[in-house]
């Protein structure tokens, strides 16, 4: 494989659109970010912000139609994933890049034994016999804390937490260099979530895997990510190190998000919700997409396209009022 001095993964100006009933839905509108080896990058945002579309674009598994990658570049190890053939892409999927899907209930094939489902990936990417693939599948199951003798069982015989672990075993079966985790614990109970996060962290360390963690849960992001980006209406509105964002959330949306979720360790009796609703992605507001909900909106926000600017080293924010905002908000965390 090619190696170069650039970042391990670099996404540049990615644009994804869906076409439905003659309407164009702008799911991802020019997202750019970079990820170094062994690091974890968080994508935070609400439903429909474009998090999952971004991850699926990297793997090129967006359903086409209705989805289309309209622009941008995705470099993995210096190779442009949007330029290579489908055949080459298939070699990368599951081996170099793999994904943990959100819903453990639907991501597994219900009429295939779990061991076989894991062995399938291993067999596909390695020049080995089925027997060897099955043996490795059993090892993978044990690695994620499921007794190997359950490899002959079907998904319905497992609980939600165990199914999610099977999916993780499958995603890690070929020791991928990049793991895309799409809300891997959202469907799980908290005690199981804690187990799964702990396991992902350990496996990530053992294999030095890079990871993109997609989540709407700020607590999960705080625990696993090194850097993160907050996405709103298909755009990154704030990005930086975890410390930068949690200690100095700056964009009014990020600040609003922090105030809108209850925290276990503070004593407030009332939340401050963000007013209004997320925008309709087929009809995004002009200017800053957040302007109709923003408490600090000005005329300029409604008309001008706002650029992502560096407000302190490595900390970017897409807001023109950022200078005035300094000191206006209480720190969170």
Partner 1 sequence: MSALVEVKNLKKYFETPRGMLHAVDDVSFSIEKSKTMGVVGESGCGKSTLGRVIIHLLDSTDGSIYFEGEDITRVNSQKLRKLRDNMKIIFQDPFSSLNPRMTVEQTIMEPLTISGRYTRKERQEEAERLMAMVGIDHRLRLSYPHELDGGRRQRVGIGRALALNPKFIVCDEPVSALDVSISAQVLNLLQDLQDKFGLTYMFVTHDLSVVRLISDDICVMYLGQLVETCPSKELFKKPLHPYTQALISAVPSTDIHHKKERILLEGEITSPIHPKPGCRFAKRCIHECKACHEPQQLEEVLPNHLVSCCRVREINSF
314 binds partner 1 (CB under 8 A): no
Give the footprint of partner 1 on residues 260-279 (CB under 8 A).
Answer: 260-265, 268-275, 277-278
243 binds partner 1 (CB under 8 A): yes
Q: Tell me if 244 sits within 8 A of 314, measured CB to CB.
A: yes
Q: And the tokens for 76?
A: 């993995």
| Terminal C-alpha separation, the chain | 42
330 binds partner 1 (CB under 8 A): no
- Toward partner 1, which CB reaches closer, 8 or 246? 246
- Toward partner 1, which CB reaches closer, 92 or 146? 146
- Toward partner 1, which CB reaches closer, 88 or 105? 105
Closest by Cα among 273, 252, 267, 268 to 329: 252
Closest by Cα among 287, 233, 228 to 258: 228
The mark string for 82-111 relative to partner 1 (x by CB under 8 A, - otherwise) is ------------------------------
| φ, ψ for residue 91, nearest 5 deg | -70, -30
115 membership: H or E segment, kind and range: helix 114-125
Give the footprint of partner 1 on residues 206-225 (CB under 8 A).
Answer: 216-220, 222-223
**β-bridge pairing 9-20 and 67-76:** antiparallel
130 membership: H or E segment, kind and range: helix 130-143
Residue 160 sits at the vertex; the CA angle it makes with 156 and 163, to the nearest 5 degrees, is: 70
229 binds partner 1 (CB under 8 A): no
245 membership: H or E segment, kind and range: helix 242-247
Give the footprint of partner 1 on residues 147-166 (CB under 8 A).
Answer: 159-162
Task: Determine the interface stretch with partner 1 among 15-23, 148-156, 185-193, 297-305 (rule: CB under 8 A).
Answer: 185-193
Task: Determine the interface stretch with partner 1 among 31-39, 71-79, 186-194, 296-304 (rule: CB under 8 A).
Answer: 186-194
Q: And the tokens for 284?
A: 């995004």
242 binds partner 1 (CB under 8 A): yes
256 binds partner 1 (CB under 8 A): yes
287 binds partner 1 (CB under 8 A): no
Rounded to an integer, what distance in angstroms lies between the CA atom of residue 154 and that of residue 174? 22
List residues binding partner 1 (CB under 8 A). 46-47, 159-162, 189-195, 197-198, 216-220, 222-223, 242-243, 246-247, 256-258, 260-265, 268-275, 277-278, 332-333
């Amino acid at each position: 494989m090619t190696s170069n001095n650039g970042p391990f993964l670099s996404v540049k100006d990615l644009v994804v659109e869906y076409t439905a009933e003659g309407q164009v839905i702008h799911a991802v509108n020019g997202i750019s970010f970079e990820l170094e080896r062994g690091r974890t990058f968080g994508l935070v945002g609400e439903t429909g912000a474009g998090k999952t579309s971004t991850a699926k674009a990297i793997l090129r598994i967006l359903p086409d139609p209705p989805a289309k990658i309209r622009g941008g570049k995705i470099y993995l190890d210096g190779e442009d994933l949007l330029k290579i053939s489908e055949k080459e892409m298939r070699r990368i999927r599951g081996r170099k890049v793999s994904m943990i899907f959100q819903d453990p209930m639907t991501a597994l094939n219900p009429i295939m034994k779990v061991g076989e489902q894991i062995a399938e990936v291993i067999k596909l990417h390695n020049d080995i016999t089925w027997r060897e693939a099955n043996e490795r599948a059993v090892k993978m199951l044990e690695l994620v804390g499921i007794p190997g003798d359950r490899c002959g069982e079907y998904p319905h015989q497992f609980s939600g937490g165990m199914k999610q672990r099977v999916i993780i075993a499958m995603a890690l079966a070929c020791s991928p260099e990049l793991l895309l985790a799409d809300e891997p614990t959202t469907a799980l109970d908290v005690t199981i979530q804690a187990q799964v996060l702990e396991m992902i962290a350990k496996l990530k360390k053992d294999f030095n895997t890079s990871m993109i963690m997609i989540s709407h849960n700020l607590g999960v992001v705080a625990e696993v990510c090194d850097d993160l980006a907050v996405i709103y209406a298909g755009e990154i509105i704030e990005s930086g190190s975890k410390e930068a964002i949690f200690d100095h959330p700056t964009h009014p949306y990020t600040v609003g998000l922090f105030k809108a979720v209850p925290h276990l360790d503070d004593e407030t009796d009332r939340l401050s919700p963000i007013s209004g609703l997320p925008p309709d992605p087929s009809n995004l507001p002009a200017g800053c997409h957040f302007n109709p909900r923003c408490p600090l909106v000005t005329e300029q926000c409604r008309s001008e396209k706002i650029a992502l600017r560096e407000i302190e080293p490595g900390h970017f924010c897409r807001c023109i009022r950022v200078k005035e905002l300094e000191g206006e908000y209480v720190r969170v965390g």
